[in-house]
Amino acid sequence: MPVQKFKTFEEADKALVINEPNDAYFKRAAKLFAFANTLNPIKWPKGIFKFKTIEDANRHREEIERSHMLKKQKEQDLK
């Protein structure tokens, strides 16, 4: 990815928005998420979960992610 120079913050802000993502964009995003997962993998509970609403499913996912984050923070505090 080439280095870009901007004269104002507004120019830099506009460069962050991609109105029409292409295949290369999605491949880069997938690589970024895969890399992040190798650095800090979340242990997801095994099994199949049934939820009444999408809000319940989202709440469950957020609780898992929050507990993972708190666990990592405690590990850092102990160091």
**pLDDT: is 58 or 75 the higher one?**
58
**Global pTM exceeds 0.85:** no
pLDDT tens by residue, 45-70: 999 999 999 999 999 999 999 999 99
Domain-located, residue 2: no
Domain-located, residue 1: no
pLDDT tens by residue, 3-45: 889 999 999 998 888 888 899 999 999 999 999 999 999 999 9
How many structural domains comprise the chain? 1
Domain-located, residue 45: yes
Domain-located, residue 55: yes
DSSP assignment of 2-57, as one string? Answer: -----SSHHHHHHHH--SS--HHHHHHHHHHHHHHHHHS---PPPS----SSHHHH
Return d(Cα 24, Cα 55) in angstroms, integer: 32
- pLDDT of 79 over the 90 cut: no
Instruction: Let me know: does 45 contact 64? Beta carbons within 8 Å.
Output: yes
Instruction: Let me know: does 43 contact 68? Beta carbons within 8 Å.
Output: yes
Range of the domain at 23: 9-78
Domain-located, residue 3: no
